[in-house]
Structure 1
Amino acid sequence: MSAHTAHTLLTVAVQHLWHAALLLALVLLVVQRARLSAEARSWLLCGAFALAAVSPLLVLLPREAVTVAEAAVALPTAAQSTPLPASAVPAAPASPTASLSAFVPTALQALAMIWLLGTLWGLLRLAQGIWQARRLHRAARPAPALDALLGPALPRGSCVALSDAVAGPMVVGLFAPRILVPPHLASTLSSPALRDLLLHEAAHVQRRDLWVTALQRTLLAVYWWSPCLRMLGNRLELAREMACDARAAHRSSSGRDYADSLLRGIAGMVQHRPQRAALAVGMSGSRSGLTQRVDGLLQLQRGQVSWRTRVRWSALCLAALATHVGVTVAATPRLGTPTVVAPNSDTATRTASAQAERLLDAAAEGDLAQVRQLVQAGVAVDTQLAGDGTALIAAARHGQLATVEALLALGAAPDLASRGDGNPLIAAARRGHLPVVERLVSAGADVNRIVAYDETPLINAARSGDVDTVAYLVNHGADVNLGVVADAGQWRSPLNQARNSRVRDYLMQRGAVTGRR
């Protein structure tokens, strides 16, 4: 794992910790005390849980757009001078600061690796739970009498089945849900009490809770080290059970009667050891959670909260979540590659025309007369075409030294970049056109210019394998250790992009080091 990838992962982790802590505080202060229905509370908590898991990914967004000049890396004075041979530079003794600098990336990589290994373990356990749920689903025996007990309340595409492997009612099966009931409950509970428990499981099916649970437990496997996300998950599970209780109670005779049925079902489960699959939802829970569920059911008997009150509380909860989104968007750092634009925005965005195409073709072919004629006719000398760049880039790419001279005399910018085509010096270095490289440098082209997606002139020269071009750039101030982070976090430097051993040996002689500096 590269140091850049480890840094990105740990930045996501740090952002997640304060994002989740802020959301948990909002839940404790607002959502839990809001006078909302159990249904609304469960979905608000679901939104909070999803935000806590997703909002840290804001760090992967690109940074603000910068101009080509701003994207250049400022080099120390020593880097701008001609580097001494490695043999002429005395080896400095290792200092405590240097040792710490070498240790920190390794520590970051170790922490990131621990995170990934923990995530892998959590996902393996989740996969084991999926396999267990499939076994329960396949081994269950159809129970038409229990289907008839639910009647119209049985969700379409689902059924009730008996299973000796479960201690209490639960739902398994993402695509073909089955409500599993242990035979001992089916034989000991009265029909009204059993129907109440089945109504609770049917509510899980109607709400698509299995899908939500699958996503929730996957995210918990990813953020296995997050205490705040785990606390949000616990509150979400309780809210989900209370929402299903409320739905079942509305179909039952009363909230108090449903609470009695719930307690009878729990009492019947106490004597049997519960077995729960990772992808299953059921009515079992902690003692404190059961107390809150019963209290919520008894409140159904005390009258409903007015719809105006619910709307006000819902608006307040949504405003709290929106506030969280605004704060996190504003405060989360961005690590993505910035969008780089040319400083001459009016020129860079000029609409491609037939004359512009003729100018670039003439520059590539070395047709000096045509180049001069088109520029004098009004075609901007720095006009750009997607996929071809500017006339100066085209001439440099094809090694047309005379055309490069003419375009510079006509006012072409030696450092103007074009997205996907680099800049003139990069184009010449990439092909190993040393005379063109020399002319562009003498015209003021920056040997350490960084162009998004096209790296630096020295990296391109090293990739060309032309040691003479590499040596010229180094002798004119190119930093042998100046690298960039490319696609998928890959670190590219002149040394690791060198095409042959001659270039690699030369760069190492001039002080190039392996790894990221």
Structure 2
Amino acid sequence: MLAELTLLSTVAVHHVLIGAGLFSLLFITVKLFKISSEMQSWLWLTALLIATVFPLSLVINDPQTSKPSPLVRVADLNSTGERILNDVSNETIEIRNIISIANSEQQNTANSAPEWNLPGEFIFNMSSILLSFLGLWLIGSTWRFLQKSRSLINTRKIFSRATKITKDISIEKLTDIPVLTSQEAHSPMTAGLFNPVIIVPQSLVNDFSNQQLEPLVLHELAHIQRFDIWFGLLQEIIAIIFWWSPIVRKFNHKIHLNREIACDIRAAKQLKSSKKYAQSLVDCAKLMLTQQKDILAMGLFSQKKDLQHRVEEVLSSDLLQKPKKLIIAASCLILTTATIATAQNYAPKINLASIEKESKFFSKLTEAQSEYLITAVNYGDINMIRTLVADGIDINTPVVGDGTALIIAVKKQNITLVEELIAIGADVNQASRGDGNPLITAAMVDNLDIAKLLLANGADINAVVPGDETPLINATRRGSLAMTKWLVENGADVNLKVKTSAWDGFEIRSPLNMARTRAVKDFLLEHNATE
């Protein structure tokens, strides 16, 4: 569950950051340049879709680039940037050169596709709060879905009971779209995805003249021509899922306002009179106030100041040239392409393999699973372990206070069991909170044979585990000269320093300052180790 929480939380953070960046960019752009509401409505909608969908495209599953542990390595390098290597054979130097090239290539790959997710320790410490938020997320989405479903049902009822306008007016000549009326409708509206109709409230039909009704019908017709019913449905789906997101709310408000203004201007141009259309907006608002109806609840204006803004935009619309569909499509495509290109180059990927590996560091088995696994490992019963794996127990998930099955086997110095565990999928780099990792454990117990076996199977010789440092630091702290020599000869960094947590006073630990014996210190100094 920790991995799932990390993934959801990280995607949510990417959504907010990418959305905030896009919102700021568009907000500044429309302030600096005079962009029509028609164009703005589509740009804001494009930005909303990018902020919603693009974070999901950053999710990858690449075990090859997954981080070995939730930590940062700190290495001191000499002036040329190369690690000092002394007292090694030509063969070892050659091997190291090959490893260096491979590491360099891997580093270049990592630089071109950086990874980032919320730290596993943060998710672990905040898991109860995040689980509560996840529950609230589901409840909120369900509640909003039910609300929108009820609204849809009410709309269908209005549509099914609507009748043709009997009043002798000419608005039906404006469009082939059926124009109906209903006493249940509170404001002009469009309904129907595949066979749209325009529904006008009976109160407006009774109180408005033909000339006053025409702008309202043309406004709804513009919504149909722009396919706003379909795009509005898409917005509602996004709002249901991301109901908690301030970014989605901000985008939706911008889309709604600019969409309404775009339809206002379309209707005004078809009337060939901006003043006439602006007056219809004012008349409609006056009628609602006279009848003591809330114009906000009716959906005519999302905020009271929107009326003034819409009137001003309509009156100034004669100064603007209507953007062509091709220009709008090209602008949205440019925004999408530029955002994706920028994010692909600079936005870090969300690696499922890294999240899964890191989450295990803070995860734990149940009490029953732990008891079965510890018993099997203590007795060296590989068949029982295979049975537990077949029953769904992950041998790479740590047992609290004991570590992973492989760490326990290393502690027992059971090299046969270590080999068999690796053969059935035990991760040689899986760390455990408070128990290090397999190679660190091998250094702690000073078992060189197991250490060689782990390295041969891909153990990271310079892995850092918070609270347990590195294999080399543990070897020097134990005073094991043989283990220290072997680790250094196989690539362990003599100057890889680790900063401890606040619990240990943020102490800087290195192989040299943790060395227990004079012989170990002398060996490290010969290899240019520093404190």
TM-score class, shorter: 0.5 to 0.7
Structure 1 segment 499-510 matched on structure 2, within 5 A:
none
> Kindly tell me: are residues 317 and 216 of structure 1, through their superposed partners in 2, closer, same or farther at Cα, counting changes over 3 Å?
closer
1:261 maps to which residue? 280
Alpha-carbon contact 1:164-1:182 (below 8 Å) kept: yes
Deviation at 1:459, TM superposition (A): 6.1
> Kindly tell me: are residues 464 and 107 of structure 1, through their superposed partners in 2, closer, same or farther at Cα, counting changes over 3 Å?
closer
2:159 maps to which residue? 137
Q: Distance in 2 between matches of 1:332 and 1:273?
A: 51
Structure 1 segment 123-162 matched on structure 2, within 5 A:
123-143=145-165, 148-151=170-173, 153-155=174-176, 158-162=177-181
Q: CA RMSD in A?
A: 3.9
SS in structure 2 of the partner of residue 180 of structure 1: strand
Deviation at 1:287, TM superposition (A): 2.0
Deviation at 1:117, TM superposition (A): 2.2
Q: Does 1:196 align with 2:215?
A: yes
Q: Distance in 2 between matches of 1:101 and 1:8?
A: 10
Alpha-carbon contact 1:142-1:162 (below 8 Å) kept: yes
Deviation at 1:148, TM superposition (A): 4.6
Deviation at 1:46, TM superposition (A): 1.1
Deviation at 1:41, TM superposition (A): 1.7
Alpha-carbon contact 2:43-2:331 (below 8 Å) kept: no
Task: Map Cα deviations across residues 291-340 of structure 1 (whole Å, 9 max, x no partner).
Answer: 11111111123x335979x96x99788655543333333314223459xx
> Kindly tell me: are residues 29 and 183 of structure 1, through their superposed partners in 2, closer, same or farther at Cα, counting changes over 3 Å?
same
1:273 maps to which residue? 293
Alpha-carbon contact 1:15-1:332 (below 8 Å) kept: no
2:397 maps to which residue? none
Structure 1 segment 435-446 matched on structure 2, within 5 A:
none
Q: Distance in 1 between matches of 2:17 and 2:122?
A: 27
Q: Distance in 2 between matches of 1:72 and 1:195?
A: 64
Amino acid at match of 1:137: F
Q: Does 1:118 align with 2:140?
A: yes
Alpha-carbon contact 2:296-2:302 (below 8 Å) kept: no
Candidates 204, 224, 227, aligned match of 2:246: 227
Deviation at 1:142, TM superposition (A): 1.9
2:343 maps to which residue? 328
2:419 maps to which residue? 476
Alpha-carbon contact 1:238-1:289 (below 8 Å) kept: yes
Deviation at 1:138, TM superposition (A): 1.3
1:93 maps to which residue? none
Deviation at 1:22, TM superposition (A): 0.7
Deviation at 1:56, TM superposition (A): 1.8
> Kindly tell me: are residues 126 and 229 of structure 1, through their superposed partners in 2, closer, same or farther at Cα, counting changes over 3 Å?
same
Amino acid at match of 1:329: Q
Amino acid at match of 1:154: T
> Kindly tell me: are residues 111 and 36 of structure 1, through their superposed partners in 2, closer, same or farther at Cα, counting changes over 3 Å?
same
1:463 maps to which residue? 390
Deviation at 1:237, TM superposition (A): 0.1
> Kindly tell me: are residues 144 and 42 of structure 1, through their superposed partners in 2, closer, same or farther at Cα, counting changes over 3 Å?
farther
Q: Distance in 1 between matches of 2:35 and 2:9?
A: 37
> Kindly tell me: are residues 47 and 138 of structure 1, through their superposed partners in 2, closer, same or farther at Cα, counting changes over 3 Å?
same
Q: Distance in 1 between matches of 2:333 and 2:5?
A: 35
Task: Map Cα deviations across residues 16-54 of structure 1 (whole Å, 9 max, x no partner).
Answer: 111111111012101354323322221111111111211
SS in structure 1 of the partner of residue 267 of structure 2: helix
Q: Distance in 1 between matches of 2:8 and 2:315?
A: 46
Q: Distance in 2 between matches of 1:139 and 1:179?
A: 13
Deviation at 1:59, TM superposition (A): 3.5
Moved more, 159-168 or 107-116: 107-116
> Kindly tell me: are residues 461 and 223 of structure 1, through their superposed partners in 2, closer, same or farther at Cα, counting changes over 3 Å?
closer
Alpha-carbon contact 1:245-1:297 (below 8 Å) kept: yes
Alpha-carbon contact 1:16-1:52 (below 8 Å) kept: yes
> Kindly tell me: are residues 109 and 283 of structure 1, through their superposed partners in 2, closer, same or farther at Cα, counting changes over 3 Å?
closer
1:385 maps to which residue? none
Q: Percent identity?
A: 27
SS in structure 2 of the partner of residue 56 of structure 1: helix
Candidates 290, 304, 321, aligned match of 2:320: 304
Q: Any gaps of 5 or more consecutive residues in structure 1?
A: 75-97, 339-446, 448-457, 485-517
Amino acid at match of 1:268: L
2:374 maps to which residue? none
Alpha-carbon contact 1:136-1:165 (below 8 Å) kept: yes
SS in structure 1 of the partner of residue 272 of structure 2: coil
Deviation at 1:477, TM superposition (A): 6.6
Q: Distance in 1 between matches of 2:200 and 2:416?
A: 77
Could you tell me the TM-score, scaled by structure 2's length? Answer: 0.54
SS in structure 2 of the partner of residue 476 of structure 1: helix
> Kindly tell me: are residues 99 and 299 of structure 1, through their superposed partners in 2, closer, same or farther at Cα, counting changes over 3 Å?
closer
Q: Distance in 1 between matches of 2:258 and 2:285?
A: 18
